[in-house]
């Protein structure tokens, strides 16, 4: 037990850089600026979004109370939190278990695989806990206050919140361990692991979609509603099969006295059984699989390599070589490439999904969802296209992704302009997939004519350049070079959080602005003027970025 | 020529890694940079190649200020860090081609020079494999080849012998000597006194951030007596090894 506590503390210390940050805060005062900036960003986000979220909780709870199906409210929030944890945590788990360099040390220490797994789980669960604290905890507290519940409810609530991420995380782990073991001999095992996990996510999406009639009351076809009101208990029991922790957790929260105690024990027991199963599988497979991850296969073409002319067969200009380097480093690191390609396609994909659901349910999207905004439909397409083209995760991590290889850029005889241009071109080449697919989907969804489409596409490209340069600048100010697994450079990068806040903020502001301007001016004209203004912003941002990169490369 | 004037590097607020040093290294020489662990050797080298920003002082390479025209300076430097800095997922040949592209080495030149270096260091068989499959020594060889392939005027090497097999170490030593005799400059750090004694035209010793000696080994012997370089080094750096009671281990 002592070993386990010590291991977990070391893992957490390394993951959150507690000792290092304490040292830096003590010795270098400059380090406090980004730390407080991050706190300020988080506080702003909470202040802006929390009232909306509370309102959402209130409306939902009142609706469920009115229909006398309150237990489903609790279950639904436990389940949604679990699903979010599942989707956000899957890649993080792969990074922590298979790509983090610390395993090279841990594997040499007298530790059982199960102990290492528990240590690593503690890190992943701590990361995931933020999801439960944001989504689940306010809903359950609100539920307790709304129903004037006793202290027993709050004690159970703490347990439910603390355990809420265990099921999704273990589900991914139980999937990944045998899969990684199965493909451990293959050459591109890291990529295969990502692809199969993505496949698991797609399956989960299909599963959620096919089960949505059971638990998402508000979103279901109104004709099915009577079933829920007639037999809420039956629907509730079906939850046990769809998402067992939601069923058990909700039962432990809504019951009283001995029943609450019994259901709480059942809730804890369920998680312990799942944990035991995961540890059992891990004990058998984890180390042997990881050792294979460390081994790399060599080429069989020994003879072919002896022809020097074939080895040095093409010379590129420094600029082309740098761009090629960007693509190589990106494609050869699956944590980057899988995230990058997924990010540019996810938003247009969501729009298609929304359109399909919309068509299936029979509500007219344009009337119900964006009815009052239809007069700025061109901007709505720009919105979709710009988000798809600028939230690829590449720009806010353009320097962070370099990690220790930033030193390579520092020692090579290249200018900061060459570096910025190669990074920018790489980002825009990938982003163009998102920009074009976003614009096309918007074009179809909102029935734009050709002229509108060209205007929208032009502005989307210009504003995407602006957003990408802006995010590159954010990363140039505070890059995270010191990462031990590539996920931390992209998905777990604080610059991403900051970028999302800034981009959505700007787009929402523009939306308001265009909404009111469109009363007086034609939106075609407004978008053309905006394009010209943003071209100027793009040039200014590029200059700022170039200067900042020069400074960054001169820093220690 | 490398000229260092009043160079200082202070980490955080208190740690002085390099303390107001002056050094002048001329072409045609192999110069060893010696010093105990943490003396400031790597920090000095890192400041020369642009990995680290000096707190104060100037560095001139062939008369050009490193901070003023870094690209021009880097163009004439071949650098091998203490830990080979190589992206593991690409092949060795991809990396070499990338370096050649950046230094604008013509195709014919890279075939001639690259082919010779690959054969000399016996890396030809593995050059199409991903770098992740290389041993530490092979990575060191690849880093050395990439530093030499563009024919740099100045070769800066941080612990270049570490990890090399005796045969490759011997080849490197001969390359270093030949490189200097061709009118170039080799500046390298090492902890192996025997190597310093064998190939260095001059040595510079740094201790606690300060240069405590610069000159030939013969000049050091003239001032400190006819002792082995190891003994001279311990004396110059005021080592307290003699005070350690090793009977504790019995």
Tens of pLDDT along A59-101?
888 888 887 778 888 888 898 888 888 888 888 888 888 877 7
d(CA A23, CA A42): 23
In 3-state terms, what secondary structure has residue A101?
Answer: coil
Q: How many helices (H) and strands (E) does chain A have?
A: 25, 0
Dihedral pair phi/psi, residue B211, rounded to 5°: -75, 120
B51 burial type by CB count under 10 A (0-12 exposed, 13-18 middle, 19+ buried): buried
| pLDDT in the model for residue B32 | 96
**String of DSSP letters for B229-249:** HHHHHHHHTT--GGG--GGGG
What average pLDDT score do residues A436-451 get? 85
| pLDDT in the model for residue A539 | 97
pLDDT band at A30 (very low <50, low <70, confident <90, very high): low
What average pLDDT score do residues A508-516 get? 88
pLDDT at A2 over 80: no
Domains and CATH numbers, chain B: 26-52+70-76+153-240 (3.40.50.300), 86-151 (no CATH)
Does B100 contact A410 at a Cβ distance shorter than 8 Å? no
Residue A77: closest CA among A215, A213, A203, A252: A215
What average pLDDT score do residues A409-428 get? 95
CB distance A236 to A76 below 8 Å: no
| pLDDT in the model for residue A165 | 94
Q: Enumerate the residues of chain B whose CB falls inside 8 A of the CB of residue A301.
A: 128
Residue of higher predicted confidence among B73 and A211 = B73
Residue B172: closest CA among B206, B203, B148: B148
Does B107 contact A312 at a Cβ distance shorter than 8 Å? yes
CB distance A250 to A75 below 8 Å: yes
pLDDT in tens, A327-363: 989 888 877 887 888 788 777 766 666 666 555 444 4
CB distance A483 to A400 below 8 Å: yes
What average pLDDT score do residues B194-207 get? 93
The length of chain B in residues reads: 250
Two tokens, residue A351 = 């729009």
d(CA A460, CA A388): 10
A66 touches chain B (CB under 8 A): no
What average pLDDT score do residues A294-318 get? 71
B38 touches chain A (CB under 8 A): no
B122 touches chain A (CB under 8 A): no
| Region of A352 on the Ramachandran plot (φ > 0 left; ψ -120 to 50 alpha; else beta) | alpha
- Mean per-residue pLDDT over chain A, rounded: 83
Does A408 contact B85 at a Cβ distance shorter than 8 Å? yes
Intra-chain end-to-end CA distance of chain A, in Å: 41
d(CA A182, CA A196): 12
d(CA B149, CA B142): 10
In 3-state terms, what secondary structure has residue A540?
Answer: helix
| pLDDT in the model for residue A33 | 66
d(CA A195, CA A200): 9
pLDDT at A305 over 60: no
| pLDDT in the model for residue B173 | 94
| Region of B56 on the Ramachandran plot (φ > 0 left; ψ -120 to 50 alpha; else beta) | beta
pLDDT band at A23 (very low <50, low <70, confident <90, very high): confident
| pLDDT in the model for residue A365 | 45
CB distance A252 to A264 below 8 Å: yes
The share of chain A scoring above pLDDT 70, in percent, equals: 86
Q: Identify from B87, B100, B127, B154 which residue to disrupt to test chain A contact, counting A C-beta atoms within 10 A and taking the largest count.
A: B87
Q: Enumerate the residues of chain A whose CB falls inside 8 A of the CB of residue B117.
A: none
CB distance B179 to B210 below 8 Å: no
B25: β partners = B2
Residue of higher predicted confidence among A56 and A365 = A56
d(CA B237, CA B240): 9
Query: Which among B13, B51, B111 is the nearest to A411, CB-wise?
Result: B51
**Alpha-carbon dihedral sign for residues B66, B70, B75, B77:** positive
CB pairs under 8 A between A and B: 121
Find the helix packing angle between A137-146 and A32-66, rounded to 10°: 40
pLDDT at A232 over 70: no
Does A296 contact B94 at a Cβ distance shorter than 8 Å? no
pLDDT at A22 over 90: no
DSSP at A299: P
Distances (CA, A) of A35 to A7, A44, A295, A473, A484: 26, 14, 38, 18, 20
- ipTM > 0.90? no
pLDDT band at A220 (very low <50, low <70, confident <90, very high): very low
CB distance A208 to A83 below 8 Å: yes
pLDDT at A219 over 50: no
Q: Enumerate the residues of chain B whose CB falls inside 8 A of the CB of residue A556.
A: 11, 51-53
CB distance A400 to A493 below 8 Å: yes
d(CA B61, CA B48): 8
Among the listed ranges A348-362, A417-431, A464-478, B162-176, which one has the minimum average pLDDT value? A348-362
Q: Enumerate the residues of chain A whose CB falls inside 8 A of the CB of residue B98.
A: 321, 324-325
Provide, for chain A, the percentages of residues in helix, strand and coil under a 3-state DSSP scheme, each rounded to the nearest 5. Answer: 85, 0, 15
């Amino acid at each position: 037990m002592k070993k386990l506590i010590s291991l977990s503390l070391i893992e957490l210390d390394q993951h959150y850089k507690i000792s290092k940050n304490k040292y830096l805060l003590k010795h270098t005062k400059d380090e406090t600026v980004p730390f407080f900036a991050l706190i300020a960003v988080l506080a702003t986000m909470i202040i802006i979004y929390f009232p909306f979220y509370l309102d959402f909780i209130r409306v939902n709870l009142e609706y469920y109370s009115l229909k006398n199906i309150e237990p489903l409210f609790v279950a639904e929030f436990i389940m949604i939190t679990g699903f979010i944890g599942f989707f956000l945590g899957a890649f993080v788990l792969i990074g922590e278990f298979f790509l983090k360099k610390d395993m090279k040390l841990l594997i040499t220490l007298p530790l059982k695989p199960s102990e290492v797994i528990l240590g690593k789980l503690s890190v992943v669960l701590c990361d995931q806990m933020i999801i439960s604290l944001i989504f689940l905890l306010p809903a359950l507290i609100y539920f307790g206050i709304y129903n004037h519940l006793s202290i027993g409810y709050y004690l159970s609530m703490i347990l439910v919140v603390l355990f809420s991420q265990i099921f999704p995380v273990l589900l991914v782990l139980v999937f990944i361990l045998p899969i990684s073991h199965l493909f451990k001999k293959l050459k591109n095992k890291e990529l295969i692991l990502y692809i199969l996990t993505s496949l698991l996510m797609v399956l989960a999406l299909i599963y959620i979609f096919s089960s949505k009639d059971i638990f998402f009351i508000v979103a279901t076809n109104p004709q099915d509603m009577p079933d829920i009101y007639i037999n809420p208990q039956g629907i509730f029991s079906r939850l046990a099969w769809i998402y067992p922790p939601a069923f058990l957790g909700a039962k432990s929260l809504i019951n009283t006295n001995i029943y609450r105690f019994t259901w709480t024990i059942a809730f804890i027991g369920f998680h312990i059984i799942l944990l035991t199963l995961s540890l059992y599988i891990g004990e058998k497979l984890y180390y042997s699989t990881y050792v294979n991850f460390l081994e790399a296969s060599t080429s069989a073409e020994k003879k072919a390599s002896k022809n020097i002319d074939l080895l040095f067969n093409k010379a590129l200009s420094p600029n082309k070589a740098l761009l090629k380097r960007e693509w190589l480093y990106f494609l050869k690191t699956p944590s980057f490439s899988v995230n990058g390609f997924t990010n540019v396609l996810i938003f247009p994909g969501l729009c298609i999904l929304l359109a399909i659901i919309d068509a299936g349910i029979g509500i007219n999207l344009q009337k119900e969802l964006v009815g009052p905004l239809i007069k700025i439909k061109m901007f709505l397409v720009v919105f979709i296209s710009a988000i798809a083209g600028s939230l690829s995760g590449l720009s806010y991590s353009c320097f962070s992704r370099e990690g220790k290889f930033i030193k390579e850029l520092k020692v090579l005889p290249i200018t900061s302009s060459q570096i910025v241009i190669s990074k920018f071109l790489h980002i825009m080449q990938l982003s163009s997939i998102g920009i074009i697919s976003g614009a096309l989907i918007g074009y179809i969804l909102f029935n734009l004519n050709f002229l509108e489409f060209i205007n929208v596409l032009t502005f989307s490209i210009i504003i995407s350049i602006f957003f990408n340069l802006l995010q590159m600048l954010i990363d140039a100010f505070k890059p995270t070079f010191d990462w031990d697994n590539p996920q931390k450079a992209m998905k777990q990068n604080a610059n991403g959080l900051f970028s999302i806040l800034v981009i959505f903020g700007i787009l929402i502001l523009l939306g308001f602005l265009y909404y009111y301007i469109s009363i007086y001016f034609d939106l075609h004209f407004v978008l053309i003027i905006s394009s010209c203004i943003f071209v100027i912003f793009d040039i200014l941002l590029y200059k700022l970025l170039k200067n900042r990169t020069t400074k960054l490369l001169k820093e220690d | 020529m490398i000229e260092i004037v009043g160079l200082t590097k202070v980490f955080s607020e208190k740690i002085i890694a390099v303390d107001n040093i002056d050094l002048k290294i001329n072409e045609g020489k192999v110069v060893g940079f010696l010093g105990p662990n943490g003396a400031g050797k790597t920090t000095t080298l890192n400041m020369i190649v642009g990995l680290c920003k000096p707190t104060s002082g100037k560095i001139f390479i062939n008369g050009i200020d490193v901070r003023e025209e870094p690209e021009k300076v880097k163009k004439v430097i071949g650098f091998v860090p203490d830990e080979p800095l190589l992206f593991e997922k690409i092949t060795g040949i991809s990396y070499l081609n990338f370096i050649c592209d950046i230094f604008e080495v013509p195709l014919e030149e890279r075939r001639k020079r690259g082919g010779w270096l690959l054969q000399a260091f016996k890396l030809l068989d593995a050059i199409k494999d991903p770098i992740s499959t290389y041993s530490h020594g092979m990575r060191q060889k690849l880093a050395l080849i990439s530093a030499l392939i563009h024919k740099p005027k100045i070769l800066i090497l941080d612990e270049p012998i570490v990890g090399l097999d005796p045969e490759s170490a011997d080849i490197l030593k001969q390359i270093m000597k030949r490189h200097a005799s061709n009118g170039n400059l080799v500046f390298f750090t090492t902890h192996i006194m025997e190597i310093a004694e064998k190939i260095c035209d001059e040595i510079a010793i740094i201790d606690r951030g300060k240069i405590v000696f610069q000159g030939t080994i013969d000049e050091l012997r003239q001032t400190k007596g006819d002792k082995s370089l190891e003994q001279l080094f311990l004396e110059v750096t005021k080592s307290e090894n003699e005070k350690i009671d090793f009977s504790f281990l019995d």
